[in-house]
């Protein structure tokens, strides 16, 4: 059961970080400038990225403490 949660959190973290990076680049490419709207969206995407990193950390800790 722990392995399932570790793998799931790791997967979600990786997807969230990838999504954040892709969306930041897409928004910059689309706007060709950085204004308040872009900064606001980048801040929310940064939050998603940090949450993804926390999921990766949680998955790693579950693997280390309970699976290995």
Task: List, for residues 34-47, the tens digit of each pLDDT value.
Answer: 778 877 887 888 88
Number of domains in the chain: 1
Extract the tokens encoding 64: 């280390």
Q: Give the mean pLDDT of the chain.
A: 85
Our separate counts of H helices and E strands in the chain read: 2, 0
CA distance 46 to 51: 9
How many residues would you count in the chain?
68
- Segment 58-67 mean pLDDT: 86
Alpha-carbon span 27 to 32, nearest angstrom:
8
Which pLDDT does position 68 carry in this prediction?
65
The range of the structural domain enclosing residue 33 comes to: 2-67
């Amino acid at each position: 059961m722990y392995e399932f949660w570790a793998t799931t959190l790791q997967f979600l973290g990786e997807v969230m970080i990838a999504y954040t990076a892709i969306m930041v680049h897409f928004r910059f490419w689309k706007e060709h400038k950085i204004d308040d709207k872009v900064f606001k969206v980048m801040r929310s995407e940064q939050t998603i990225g940090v949450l993804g990193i926390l999921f990766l950390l949680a998955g790693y800790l579950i693997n280390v403490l309970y699976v290995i």
